[in-house]
Amino acid sequence: MIDADLSRMLVIRAFERTLLDLYGRGLLNGTTHTCLGQEYVPVAMEGLLDPADHVFSNHRGHGHYLARFDDPEGLLAEIMGREGAVCAGVGGSQHIRRDRYLSTGVQGESLPVAAGVALHLKRVEPGRLACAYIGDGTFGEGAVYEALNLAALWSLPLLVVVENNGIAQSTPTGEHLAGTIAGRAAAFGLPHELVEGADVDDIRTRLAPLVSGVREGRPAVVEFVTHRLGPHSKGDDTRPAHALGVDWRDKYASPLLDRLEAAAVARIEAVAADVIARPLSRWEA
């Protein structure tokens, strides 16, 4: 793996850790969902995406954003309602729009929207795609199936990336999902790829043909078997500690990682100090 990818994963991790710490110190308003453990997913995906592709993110979107934009300042300012916020502090952690990136806080809602953008791309910018991230739990929502049906029927350049972390809030996947995600993709005649490891280069090599297919109008579902190492939002982890799953970090443990991590932590600490000192964001409704 190249240093830049590892570094990006570690920046995301340091960012999320800092958020939980700021919460603990009473410095953040509202709620937030961190992607601790899942950082490699968007970093691997961004290597396959073009800046002109659209990304639709969800409630657990800081990694998706930071993998796309090297902008922890803007994101933290957004979450803290400070000057320089990406969306003036109105959207906060879950509702962010920038260039061709958008997130919103209602599960499943973005899939039909992503299909709409894909329909547009197909006509106006062939070769571009819309990539929508969803969790396993979001397969409970009907909108997901309505969108998959349209995408398949109309051959839309829609890539659905499922971060299957084995749990939705407090409900294990086995208790909210009948059958499998692969089976659901099959029901719509869509290709499905299961990704189990966290090796960024491997992931990209494996997914490259699938992603090219999406660009040519063959929508697809990629399912990552991943692990949420932190709580769902703040202090709400009901799982025993041993059930948290493997951390990609252990796999990459090395002096290089330690060096990159120290740099990432220092950078995010500086970002936090800077953002906390900024005046409140201003917004013209």
Ligand X SMILES: Cc1ncc(C[n+]2csc(CCOP(=O)(O)OP(=O)(O)O)c2C)c(N)n1
List interacting residues with ligand X (CB under 6 A). Answer: 59-60, 105-107, 134-138, 163, 165, 167-169, 228, 232
18 vs 94, beta carbon nearer ligand X = 94
Is 113 a binding residue for other proteins by CB under 8 A? The answer is: no
Q: Which two tokens stand for residue 90?
A: 């109105």
HSE on the CB side for 272, CA within 13 Å?
A: 20
Q: Which does 230 bind (CB under 5 to 8 A by kind): ligand X, other proteins, none?
A: none
Please, which of residues 238-257 interact with other proteins by CB under 8 A?
238
Task: Report 177-236 residues binding other proteins (CB under 8 A).
Answer: 177, 236
* The amino acid at 244: L
Q: Using the rule CB under 8 A, is 138 a contact of other proteins?
A: yes
d(CA 195, CA 219): 17
Total interface residues for other proteins by CB under 8 A: 39
Choose the stretch contacting other proteins; rule: CB under 8 A; options: 63-71, 81-89, 110-118, 252-260: 81-89
| Cα Rg, the chain, nearest whole Å | 18
- Specify whether the CB–CB gap between 152 and 192 falls below 8 A: no
Residue 170 contact partner, candidates other proteins, ligand X, none, CB within 5 to 8 A by sort of partner = other proteins
CB 200 within 8 A of CB 40: yes
Distance, in Å, from the CA atom of 67 to the CA atom of 35, rounded to the nearest integer, reads 12
Given ligand X, other proteins, none, residue 238, with its beta carbon under 5 to 8 Å by kind, binds other proteins
In the bound state with other proteins, the residue whose beta carbon lies nearer, of 108 and 157, is: 108
CB of residue 167 vs ligand X: minimum separation in angstroms? 6
- Of the pair 84, 135, the CB lying nearest ligand X is at 135
* 81 sits near other proteins (criterion: CB under 8 A): yes
Give CA separation, 104 vs 90, 91, 202, 282, in Å. Answer: 12, 9, 30, 21
Instruction: Choose between 108 and 217: whose C-beta lies nearer to ligand X.
Output: 108
Residue 199, Cβ density class (10 Å: 0-12 exposed, 13-18 middle, ≥19 buried):
middle
